[in-house]
Chain A
Amino acid sequence: MCMRSALLVALLCGLSGVAAAQPAKKHPAGPNLGVPATAEQVAGWDVSIGPDGAGLPAGSGTAAQGAAVYAAKCVACHGEKGAGRPNDQLVGGQGTIATPNAVRTVGSYWPYATTLFDYIRRAMPLVAPQSLSNDEVYALTAYLLSLNGVIDERAVMSATTLPKVAMPNRDNFVWAYKKP
């Protein structure tokens, strides 16, 4: 069986004329059935936001606007002003992280503000994910950052401003995995 697969690899490498130039691989060749994705297709699927803000869409929002969205769509699960219950507490907990009763919230724990936009847009509210407009997501992001004292309550969150928000606990995150 090994001989047969080795033969197959050699055959395919020979036919393709490219793989042979690369270092030996432990995986076999595939049948190349992937269909090229257009830029439009990729843009429609690609909702993730990098910590540098890559991928943030147009739009903007403020804490005041976010308070209204929060009252309508978030408070039932996350409590008044992000106090939590029945689901995650989003506000407070500063000063507890190095204690036995650490309270991990957006303000006390989360290392990147961009993560907040990414997660709210893809997954919240729990009963209707991806139902919020980009402006609503920016507004909710601003509201939660403002409640946590991370940004000024009048600050406008957008693709330009959000990546510049310095989260207070960021420097307490350490990589356990050796950087590639």
Chain B
Amino acid sequence: MAKPAELDAHESVAGNGLLHRRLFLSQGAALLGAGGALLTAAPAPAAPPEVPASMKTPGAALSGYGERSPHEAKVQRAAQGQPGAPGTGSSRTPLESLEGVITPSSLHFERSHNGVPDIDPAQHRVLIHGLVERPLIFDLDALSRYPLVSRIQFLECSGNSAALNGADPPQQTAGGLHGLVSCSDWTGVPLAILLDEAGVKPEGKWLLAEGADAAGMSRSVPLAKAYDDAILALYQNGERLRPSNGYPVRLFLPGYEGNMNVKWLRRIKVTAEPTMTKDETSKYSDLQPDGKALLFTFPMEVKSVITSPSGQQQMRGAGLYQISGLAWSGFGKIRRVEVSADGGKTWGQAALDAPVLDKALVRFRMAWRWDGSPSVLQSRAVDEHGTVQPTRAALLAKRGPAFRYHYNAIQSWSVAAAGGVSNVYA
């Protein structure tokens, strides 16, 4: 219809071929077509038969629980356990193989401190005690009768992307580097309701949350957060939690570092002060270059990563591509994401898929006409408070080389003339 808009949509917005985000609106989207699809090297296939075999015979039977296509079996989490302790460690979401913002529950990242417990929900209880008027025990049947709320929100391990503070850029996929972040539709009981039922005493300022796993995972949480938006999550993407994500009930603290979202939750103790558990003092504290260590760095900072094209992928020659990626902030909503195709010299504003939700992954997209020359792709997120994702150099200058947690620097992907994509520090 509106021909001029189509032309405008191809206008350059930044160096090295970045095109206006209008390209993805209305008829512009159709222009992407084949060029926007990724990426794996595939020579032109022989034409398929006009009547494929699937049209000549009845298909497979119905099933009680769905499975993905066997052709997708290669899409897997990358698991890394500790020596002699296969349940202690993490597995990473293959971000580069996924689209949209919801992480399939079967591919949600895992982080466990001594394996995934096998819990019978009929035997599981949650105790609320400590500085309360009435210590109370809840079983799963009881919890399921409370008012539920659902929110689409990300969860990120505070150790995500930590390999990137090493001297040499690790050659990994986007998921291998940044896959300790996932996003789900979490449904659960507002913790405030249960705390009110127990009657928190005025001197109660914190709570200790403890899991029923073999690590007895435990973290202190400010009561203010518990009352603000904490839930006892029972459902993930519509079905009951997966065992590795806390079945049958986990604490969910929107925006806060992953390990505080205690899985297999069995106990909440209201306290006046933090309990100073091993995982909030000796582990998930942030050592600074001057030797000071920060306790209780709870929210995960503003961050983004381009997932396509990304590390270990292969471009199929010059032409029009869609750059696609994820952005998020533990402090709220993403305001905008900018993309650079020239290593950060110039930036263009990416399109954000609606809706842009609070403390959720946001999908951004940008059209790129690659001319086949070596290029460096970057994305830079800005959250609703105006906080800008830092460069790697700026982050390391501030945090020093020994830090482990809360890495949120800009990711740079190098695209070689031959089309190979790799991780670089730029």
Contact = CB atoms under 8 A, between A and B. Distances in A.
A48 interface: yes
Contacts of B189: 30
B197 to A, nearest CB: 5
Contacts of B266: 45
Contacts of B267: 45-46
A48 B402 contact: no
Interface in B246-292: 266-267, 269, 271, 273-278, 281-282, 285-287, 289-292
B276 A176 contact: no
Nearest to B286: A176
A29 B193 contact: yes
Contact of B291 (A25, A97, A118): A97
A30 B146 contact: yes
Contacts, number: 177
A29 B287 CA distance: 42
Given A102-B402, A114-B276, A126-B85, A35 B210 contact: no
B281 A111 contact: yes
A50 B218 CA distance: 12
Given A36-B134, A180-B206, A100 B401 contact: yes
B152 interface: no
Given A51-B275, A98-B290, A176-B297, A27 B85 contact: no
A177 B298 contact: yes
A72 interface: no
Contact of B278 (A32, A119, A169, A176): A119
A33 B293 contact: no
Contacts of B401: 100
A174 B294 contact: yes
B222 A180 contact: yes
B205 interface: yes
A109 interface: yes
Given A86-B82, A86-B84, A34 B402 contact: no
A115 interface: yes
A111 B214 CA distance: 24
A27 B278 contact: no
B378 to A, nearest CB: 26
Contacts of B135: 36-37, 41-42
B277 A118 contact: yes
Interface in A95-140: 97-102, 104, 106, 109-112, 114-115, 118-119, 122-123, 126, 129-130
A47 interface: yes
Interface in B115-146: 127-129, 134-139, 142, 145-146
Q: Which of A27, A51, A104, A180 counts the most B-chain CB atoms under 10 A from its CB?
A: A27
Contacts of A33: 138, 142, 145-146
Interface string A1-28: 0000000000000000001000001111
A98 B293 contact: no
A110 B142 contact: no
A49 interface: yes
B75 interface: no
A104 B88 CA distance: 19
Interface string A165-180: 0000100111111001
Closest 3 CB pairs of A and B: A98-B291, A34-B136, A122-B216
Interface of B: 82-85, 88, 113-114, 127-129, 134-139, 142, 145-147, 189-190, 192-194, 196-198, 205-206, 208, 210, 214-216, 218, 222-224, 266-267, 269, 271, 273-278, 281-282, 285-287, 289-298, 400-402
Given A28-B193, A51-B276, 20 more contacts: A25-B196, A27-B190, A29-B147, A30-B196, A33-B138, A33-B142, A34-B194, A42-B127, A45-B129, A46-B269, A48-B210, A48-B269, A50-B271, A50-B275, A99-B402, A114-B276, A123-B113, A172-B293, A173-B285, A173-B293
